[in-house]
Amino acid sequence: MPGTVDGRVSTRITPELRARLRESAERTDTTATPDSGALAELRRSGLLATAVPRAYGGAGGTATDVNRVVEQLAEVNPSVAIIAFQHFAVSARVTEWGTPEQHARLLPGLADGSCLAASSWSETGAGAAKQNLASTAVRQQEGGWRIDAAKSFTTGAGIADLYLLLVRTGPVPATEGSGYGAPGQTFFLVPADVPGITPDLGLDLVGMRGSATGLLSFDGCVVDDGARLGPPGHAATIISGVRASGASLGAVSVGIGRAALNLALDHAQRRNLLDLPAVRHRLADLATRLESARGVVELAGARTTEDPGLTTLHSKVHASETAEEICLRAARMLGSSGYLTTTPLNRLLADARGISLMGPTNDLCRDILAASWPS
């Protein structure tokens, strides 16, 4: 089975795919458009099966496996890594909350790569906690739902085959909560070929330029009730389970940090700088920071702490800020050569910065963590 080795989930991408994704990252940083060829190779690689149960053709991977695959991808191409991370997240939500019919219909395609999934939660005015949604799904007399939504910062816009869409189906709550999502919100699994969906990749991002992160418009899209994921109004419960799963965006940051450290080490070796104790010590400090970030991401994936959801939030904040710091320090070590636009470190720094802004944003993570403390 693709994606497994001797019955275990493979967490290593092939050298050929690594080379293809690395070259793609360099090119899409200039073009700011997704690389269809690289994404086609990702679909064929078997890696997308990681989070799907074996009963449906998947690899049956755990959160630890997801984090390791994502880290490997991010080391060579952070944009593709976040596309894969979103796919894994949707695959897990379908597995956890889907009906038997949804399992049979969706999971095999999510495993074999013929169905690439993406999340579409953010929208202008909703806030980082996604508590003030304007997007709606209204139940129709014939039993289906009419969806009207304008979503922003959707990774995989226009390239995904399936969107996990967050909309409001009930009354707006009178007061905001302290978590992520709100009562009256529902998830829908909307195929990309439903009439009324319009993607717009006009966002000019500083980093993650190959991630197809853009806008999505859902204009009077009609889906049947089989597109609904979970009970109506229970999206916030599903979201809280995402954190508890242990799959962490911090894994993307660990991959970015590894790539930046390797660039700094390569520079020091080529310039014969490793004989200098000061250089060795600075590199050792960066390596130690990287290992601390990897350690907390591994801890999140293992789900062995008292509250795995909080550990996942800690891992995202710590790893993302660590990766950004590693990129900055590595760039300083390169001196004037690190100030050239052609230096990969500048791309990695922009990519690292983006993780802190992805949901839940680092500031929202801090708010949720603080809310867990005893009053």
| Amino acid in position 194 | V
Residue 282 has what pLDDT? 97
Summarize pLDDT for 67-97 with one digit per residue, the tens: 999 999 999 999 999 999 999 999 999 999 9
Q: Tell me which residue has tokens 């907390």.
A: 296
**What amino acid is encoded at 32 in this protein?**
A
Q: What is the pLDDT of residue 182?
A: 85
**What is the number of residues in the chain?**
375
Q: Which residue has the higher pLDDT, 9 or 122?
A: 122
Of the listed ranges 116-130, 261-275, 278-292, 308-322, the least confidently predicted one is 116-130
Q: With bands split at pLDDT 50, 70 and 90, how would you rate the model's confidence at 176?
A: low
Could you tell me the pLDDT band of residue 129, with boundaries at 50, 70 and 90?
confident
pLDDT of 329 strictly over 50:
yes
| pLDDT score, position 5 | 39
Dist. CA 323–CA 326, nearest whole Å: 5
Amino acid in the structure at residue 258: R
**Is residue 241's pLDDT more than 90?**
no
pLDDT at 260 over 90: yes
Quick: pLDDT tens for 159-174: 999 999 999 998 876 6
Cβ atoms of residues 364 and 129 within 8 Å: yes
Instruction: Indicate whether 315 pLDDT > 50.
Output: yes
Residue 125 has pLDDT above 90, yes or no: no
Q: What is the mean pLDDT of the chain?
A: 93
pTM over 0.85: yes
- For the segment 20-48, the average pLDDT, to the nearest whole number, is 96
Distance between CA atoms of residues 233 and 171, nearest Å: 9
Output the pLDDT for position 303: 97
Examine the pLDDT at 330 and tell me if it is beyond 50: yes
Q: Nearest to residue 84, comparing CAs of 50, 57, 55, 114?
A: 50
Query: Considering only CA atoms, which of 185, 25, 160, 7 is closest in space to residue 90?
Result: 160
Dist CA 24 CA 36 (whole Å): 10
Within 10 angstroms of residue 178's Cβ, the number of other Cβ atoms is: 12
